[in-house]
Chain A
Protein backbone atom coordinates (compact mmCIF):
# COMPACT_ATOMS: atom_id res chain seq x y z
CA UNK A 1 0.00 0.00 0.00
CA UNK A 2 1.48 3.33 -1.05
CA UNK A 3 0.71 6.95 -0.19
CA UNK A 4 -0.65 8.76 -3.23
CA UNK A 5 0.37 12.41 -3.39
CA UNK A 6 -0.99 14.99 -5.83
CA UNK A 7 2.04 17.08 -6.78
CA UNK A 8 0.01 20.00 -8.15
CA UNK A 9 -2.22 20.38 -5.10
CA UNK A 10 -2.53 23.92 -3.67
CA UNK A 11 -0.48 22.67 -0.72
CA UNK A 12 1.59 19.58 -1.52
CA UNK A 13 1.18 16.99 1.24
CA UNK A 14 4.76 17.11 2.51
CA UNK A 15 3.73 16.19 6.06
CA UNK A 16 2.37 12.87 4.74
CA UNK A 17 5.45 12.40 2.53
CA UNK A 18 7.85 12.96 5.46
CA UNK A 19 5.96 10.70 7.84
CA UNK A 20 5.55 8.05 5.14
CA UNK A 21 9.30 8.12 4.51
CA UNK A 22 10.00 7.64 8.24
CA UNK A 23 7.76 4.57 8.14
CA UNK A 24 9.26 3.26 4.89
CA UNK A 25 5.99 3.52 3.02
CA UNK A 26 6.19 3.94 -0.74
CA UNK A 27 5.12 7.31 -2.15
CA UNK A 28 3.26 7.43 -5.45
CA UNK A 29 3.44 10.82 -7.13
CA UNK A 30 0.52 11.95 -9.27
CA UNK A 31 1.29 15.01 -11.35
CA UNK A 32 -2.13 16.57 -10.92
CA UNK A 33 -4.15 18.73 -8.52
CA UNK A 34 -5.93 15.68 -7.08
CA UNK A 35 -5.04 12.04 -6.68
CA UNK A 36 -7.86 10.88 -8.98
CA UNK A 37 -11.36 11.81 -10.14
CA UNK A 38 -12.80 9.18 -7.79
CA UNK A 39 -10.85 10.48 -4.77
CA UNK A 40 -10.31 14.19 -5.43
CA UNK A 41 -7.92 14.71 -2.50
CA UNK A 42 -4.32 15.99 -2.22
CA UNK A 43 -3.18 12.81 -0.43
CA UNK A 44 -4.77 9.35 -0.20
CA UNK A 45 -3.60 6.37 1.84
CA UNK A 46 -5.42 3.19 2.79
CA UNK A 47 -8.91 4.61 2.21
CA UNK A 48 -8.15 7.88 4.04
CA UNK A 49 -8.21 11.19 2.13
CA UNK A 50 -6.41 14.46 2.86
CA UNK A 51 -2.94 15.18 4.25
CA UNK A 52 -4.15 15.81 7.82
CA UNK A 53 -6.22 12.63 8.02
CA UNK A 54 -3.42 10.58 6.46
CA UNK A 55 -0.86 12.02 8.91
CA UNK A 56 -3.12 11.18 11.85
CA UNK A 57 -3.60 7.65 10.53
CA UNK A 58 0.13 7.11 9.91
CA UNK A 59 1.11 8.48 13.32
CA UNK A 60 -1.09 5.86 15.08
CA UNK A 61 -0.67 7.46 18.51
CA UNK A 62 -0.76 11.24 18.69
CA UNK A 63 -0.06 13.05 21.97
CA UNK A 64 -2.37 15.88 23.06
CA UNK A 65 0.41 18.40 22.38
CA UNK A 66 1.09 16.96 18.92
CA UNK A 67 -2.64 17.07 18.13
CA UNK A 68 -2.79 20.75 19.07
CA UNK A 69 0.08 21.56 16.72
CA UNK A 70 -1.36 19.40 13.94
CA UNK A 71 -4.66 21.27 14.25
CA UNK A 72 -2.78 24.58 14.39
CA UNK A 73 -0.77 23.78 11.27
CA UNK A 74 -3.70 22.69 9.11
CA UNK A 75 -5.97 25.48 10.36
CA UNK A 76 -3.54 28.40 10.24
CA UNK A 77 -0.55 27.70 8.03
CA UNK A 78 -2.05 26.65 4.70
CA UNK A 79 -3.23 30.09 3.56
CA UNK A 80 -1.45 31.68 0.61
CA UNK A 81 -2.43 35.12 1.88
CA UNK A 82 0.72 36.31 3.63
CA UNK A 83 -1.20 38.77 5.82
CA UNK A 84 -3.52 36.01 6.99
CA UNK A 85 -0.69 33.64 7.84
CA UNK A 86 1.61 36.21 9.53
CA UNK A 87 -0.02 36.14 13.01
CA UNK A 88 0.45 32.36 13.08
CA UNK A 89 4.10 32.70 12.07
CA UNK A 90 4.50 35.24 14.88
CA UNK A 91 2.95 32.76 17.30
CA UNK A 92 5.45 30.10 16.22
CA UNK A 93 8.29 32.61 16.40
CA UNK A 94 7.33 33.41 20.01
CA UNK A 95 6.95 29.71 20.85
CA UNK A 96 10.55 29.17 19.71
CA UNK A 97 12.04 32.01 21.79
CA UNK A 98 13.15 29.55 24.47
CA UNK A 99 12.64 26.27 22.65
CA UNK A 100 14.85 24.54 20.08
CA UNK A 101 12.02 22.27 18.93
CA UNK A 102 8.25 22.58 19.20
CA UNK A 103 7.94 19.99 21.97
CA UNK A 104 10.93 18.73 23.92
CA UNK A 105 14.55 18.46 22.82
CA UNK A 106 14.44 16.38 19.66
CA UNK A 107 12.27 16.68 16.54
CA UNK A 108 8.79 15.26 17.17
CA UNK A 109 5.61 14.74 15.19
CA UNK A 110 4.70 18.39 15.89
CA UNK A 111 7.89 19.58 14.21
CA UNK A 112 7.38 17.25 11.26
CA UNK A 113 3.81 18.38 10.61
CA UNK A 114 4.40 22.11 11.12
CA UNK A 115 7.57 21.94 9.02
CA UNK A 116 5.83 19.98 6.27
CA UNK A 117 2.88 22.38 6.12
CA UNK A 118 5.22 25.39 6.01
CA UNK A 119 7.23 23.70 3.24
CA UNK A 120 4.01 23.27 1.26
CA UNK A 121 3.25 26.99 1.51
CA UNK A 122 5.26 28.89 -1.08
CA UNK A 123 4.19 32.22 0.42
CA UNK A 124 6.06 31.60 3.69
CA UNK A 125 9.10 29.88 2.15
CA UNK A 126 10.97 33.02 1.21
CA UNK A 127 10.39 34.79 4.52
CA UNK A 128 11.75 31.72 6.36
CA UNK A 129 14.89 31.61 4.25
CA UNK A 130 15.51 35.37 4.43
CA UNK A 131 15.54 35.26 8.24
CA UNK A 132 12.70 37.71 8.87
CA UNK A 133 11.64 35.31 11.63
CA UNK A 134 14.85 34.62 13.52
CA UNK A 135 13.79 31.67 15.69
CA UNK A 136 11.60 30.15 13.02
CA UNK A 137 14.46 30.39 10.53
CA UNK A 138 16.89 28.64 12.88
CA UNK A 139 14.39 25.87 13.59
CA UNK A 140 13.36 25.50 9.92
CA UNK A 141 16.92 25.35 8.60
CA UNK A 142 18.10 22.87 11.23
CA UNK A 143 15.27 20.49 10.32
CA UNK A 144 15.91 21.06 6.61
CA UNK A 145 19.57 20.19 6.98
CA UNK A 146 19.40 17.30 9.43
CA UNK A 147 15.91 15.81 9.27
CA UNK A 148 13.66 16.45 6.30
CA UNK A 149 15.83 17.84 3.49
CA UNK A 150 16.84 14.51 1.93
CA UNK A 151 13.23 13.28 1.71
CA UNK A 152 12.06 16.52 0.10
CA UNK A 153 14.97 16.33 -2.33
CA UNK A 154 14.12 12.76 -3.33
CA UNK A 155 10.47 13.72 -3.71
CA UNK A 156 11.36 16.64 -5.99
CA UNK A 157 13.69 14.49 -8.07
CA UNK A 158 11.04 11.80 -8.47
CA UNK A 159 8.46 14.45 -9.35
CA UNK A 160 10.71 15.67 -12.16
CA UNK A 161 10.92 12.12 -13.46
CA UNK A 162 7.13 11.84 -13.36
CA UNK A 163 6.92 15.03 -15.43
CA UNK A 164 9.48 13.77 -17.91
CA UNK A 165 7.75 10.44 -18.37
CA UNK A 166 4.37 12.20 -18.59
CA UNK A 167 5.56 13.61 -21.88
CA UNK A 168 5.92 10.07 -23.12
CA UNK A 169 2.34 9.21 -22.05
CA UNK A 170 2.79 7.93 -18.47
CA UNK A 171 1.22 9.73 -15.53
CA UNK A 172 2.46 7.91 -12.45
CA UNK A 173 5.81 6.84 -11.12
CA UNK A 174 6.61 5.27 -7.78
CA UNK A 175 8.91 7.35 -5.61
CA UNK A 176 11.52 5.87 -3.34
CA UNK A 177 11.06 8.72 -0.86
Chain B
Protein backbone atom coordinates (compact mmCIF):
# COMPACT_ATOMS: atom_id res chain seq x y z
CA UNK B 1 0.00 0.00 0.00
CA UNK B 2 1.59 3.25 -1.11
CA UNK B 3 1.30 6.38 0.98
CA UNK B 4 -0.68 9.41 -0.13
CA UNK B 5 1.03 11.61 -2.69
CA UNK B 6 1.83 15.23 -1.99
CA UNK B 7 -1.12 16.35 -4.10
CA UNK B 8 -3.51 13.96 -2.40
CA UNK B 9 -2.31 15.17 0.94
CA UNK B 10 -2.74 18.84 0.02
CA UNK B 11 -6.29 17.98 -1.07
CA UNK B 12 -6.93 16.99 2.55
CA UNK B 13 -5.63 20.29 3.89
CA UNK B 14 -7.94 22.17 6.25
CA UNK B 15 -6.35 25.57 5.71
CA UNK B 16 -7.00 28.05 8.46
CA UNK B 17 -3.65 29.65 9.15
CA UNK B 18 -2.87 32.39 11.65
CA UNK B 19 -1.60 35.77 10.45
CA UNK B 20 2.18 36.08 10.24
CA UNK B 21 4.49 39.03 10.69
CA UNK B 22 6.63 40.13 7.73
CA UNK B 23 9.67 38.36 9.16
CA UNK B 24 7.65 35.20 9.68
CA UNK B 25 6.33 35.41 6.12
CA UNK B 26 9.86 35.63 4.77
CA UNK B 27 10.76 32.61 6.89
CA UNK B 28 7.71 30.80 5.54
CA UNK B 29 8.67 31.55 1.94
CA UNK B 30 12.12 30.09 2.54
CA UNK B 31 10.61 26.86 3.86
CA UNK B 32 8.18 26.62 0.96
CA UNK B 33 11.15 26.96 -1.41
CA UNK B 34 13.07 24.34 0.55
CA UNK B 35 10.08 21.99 0.50
CA UNK B 36 10.68 21.58 -3.25
CA UNK B 37 14.00 19.87 -2.53
CA UNK B 38 13.08 18.41 0.79
CA UNK B 39 14.62 15.00 0.16
CA UNK B 40 18.14 16.39 -0.07
CA UNK B 41 20.18 15.43 3.01
CA UNK B 42 21.14 19.06 3.71
CA UNK B 43 17.48 20.08 3.75
CA UNK B 44 16.60 17.25 6.12
CA UNK B 45 19.41 18.27 8.46
CA UNK B 46 18.41 21.92 8.27
CA UNK B 47 14.81 21.03 9.08
CA UNK B 48 15.80 18.82 12.00
CA UNK B 49 18.03 21.60 13.38
CA UNK B 50 15.30 24.21 13.06
CA UNK B 51 12.84 22.00 14.93
CA UNK B 52 15.14 21.45 17.91
CA UNK B 53 14.01 24.67 19.51
CA UNK B 54 10.64 25.23 17.86
CA UNK B 55 7.38 23.36 18.37
CA UNK B 56 6.13 24.59 14.97
CA UNK B 57 8.32 25.52 12.03
CA UNK B 58 7.98 29.29 12.04
CA UNK B 59 9.78 31.18 14.83
CA UNK B 60 7.46 32.48 17.56
CA UNK B 61 4.39 30.79 16.15
CA UNK B 62 1.84 29.25 18.47
CA UNK B 63 0.19 27.24 15.70
CA UNK B 64 0.87 25.49 12.43
CA UNK B 65 1.40 27.63 9.35
CA UNK B 66 1.44 27.09 5.60
CA UNK B 67 5.16 26.34 5.95
CA UNK B 68 4.39 23.37 8.23
CA UNK B 69 1.76 22.14 5.77
CA UNK B 70 4.03 22.51 2.72
CA UNK B 71 7.08 20.83 4.25
CA UNK B 72 5.01 18.08 5.84
CA UNK B 73 3.21 17.22 2.61
CA UNK B 74 6.48 17.25 0.64
CA UNK B 75 8.19 14.99 3.15
CA UNK B 76 5.28 12.76 4.13
CA UNK B 77 5.77 9.89 1.67
CA UNK B 78 9.43 9.45 2.56
CA UNK B 79 8.75 9.81 6.30
CA UNK B 80 6.40 6.84 6.01
CA UNK B 81 9.34 4.81 4.76
CA UNK B 82 11.98 6.02 7.20
CA UNK B 83 13.98 3.30 8.92
CA UNK B 84 14.93 3.40 12.55
CA UNK B 85 18.38 4.90 11.98
CA UNK B 86 16.87 7.81 10.03
CA UNK B 87 14.35 8.37 12.80
CA UNK B 88 17.10 8.32 15.41
CA UNK B 89 19.20 10.80 13.45
CA UNK B 90 16.25 13.19 12.96
CA UNK B 91 14.13 12.89 16.09
CA UNK B 92 12.88 16.49 15.89
CA UNK B 93 11.38 15.97 12.43
CA UNK B 94 9.44 12.91 13.63
CA UNK B 95 8.26 14.75 16.76
CA UNK B 96 7.07 17.65 14.64
CA UNK B 97 5.54 15.49 11.86
CA UNK B 98 3.55 13.57 14.47
CA UNK B 99 2.24 16.87 15.83
CA UNK B 100 1.30 18.10 12.35
CA UNK B 101 -0.54 14.89 11.46
CA UNK B 102 -2.57 14.96 14.68
CA UNK B 103 -3.84 18.52 15.00
CA UNK B 104 -6.52 18.37 12.32
CA UNK B 105 -4.49 20.35 9.77
CA UNK B 106 -4.83 17.43 7.35
CA UNK B 107 -7.86 15.19 7.27
CA UNK B 108 -5.84 11.98 7.69
CA UNK B 109 -7.22 8.54 8.38
CA UNK B 110 -5.48 6.66 11.19
CA UNK B 111 -4.06 4.19 8.67
CA UNK B 112 -2.46 7.01 6.67
CA UNK B 113 -0.56 8.43 9.60
CA UNK B 114 3.18 8.02 10.03
CA UNK B 115 3.76 5.39 12.70
CA UNK B 116 5.76 6.79 15.62
CA UNK B 117 7.47 4.76 18.30
CA UNK B 118 7.38 7.27 21.14
CA UNK B 119 9.60 5.20 23.38
CA UNK B 120 12.38 4.55 20.88
CA UNK B 121 15.63 4.83 22.80
CA UNK B 122 17.89 7.58 21.52
CA UNK B 123 20.92 9.00 23.29
CA UNK B 124 20.47 12.36 24.95
CA UNK B 125 21.48 15.19 22.65
CA UNK B 126 24.14 17.57 23.85
CA UNK B 127 24.04 21.23 22.94
CA UNK B 128 26.64 22.05 20.32
Contact = CB atoms under 8 A, between A and B. Distances in A.
A1 interface: no
Contact of A131 (B53, B54, B95, B120): B53
Contact of A94 (B62, B98, B103, B124): B124
Interface in B67-97: 91, 94-96
A105 B102 CA distance: 7
B122 A97 contact: yes
A16 to B, nearest CB: 24
A81 interface: no
B60 interface: yes
B55 A100 contact: yes
Contacts of A146: 62
Interface residues of B, number: 22
B127 A100 contact: no
Given A100-B55, A134-B53, A142-B55, A93 B124 contact: yes
A100 B124 contact: no
Interface in B37-62: 52-55, 60, 62
A98 B94 contact: yes
Main secondary structure of the interface of A (DSSP, over half): helix
Given A97-B91, A97-B122, A99-B95, A138 B53 contact: yes
B62 A90 contact: no
Given A90-B124, A138-B53, A138-B54, A100 B95 contact: yes
A141 interface: yes
Interface of B: 52-55, 60, 62, 91, 94-96, 98-99, 102-103, 116-118, 120, 122, 124-125, 127
18 contacts: A97-B118, A97-B120, A98-B94, A98-B118, A99-B95, A99-B98, A100-B96, A100-B99, A105-B103, A106-B103, A131-B53, A131-B127, A134-B125, A135-B125, A137-B53, A138-B54, A141-B53, A142-B55
Given A97-B95, A138-B52, 20 more contacts: A94-B124, A96-B95, A97-B91, A97-B120, A98-B91, A98-B117, A98-B118, A98-B120, A99-B118, A100-B55, A106-B103, A131-B53, A134-B52, A134-B53, A135-B125, A137-B53, A138-B53, A138-B55, A145-B62, A146-B62
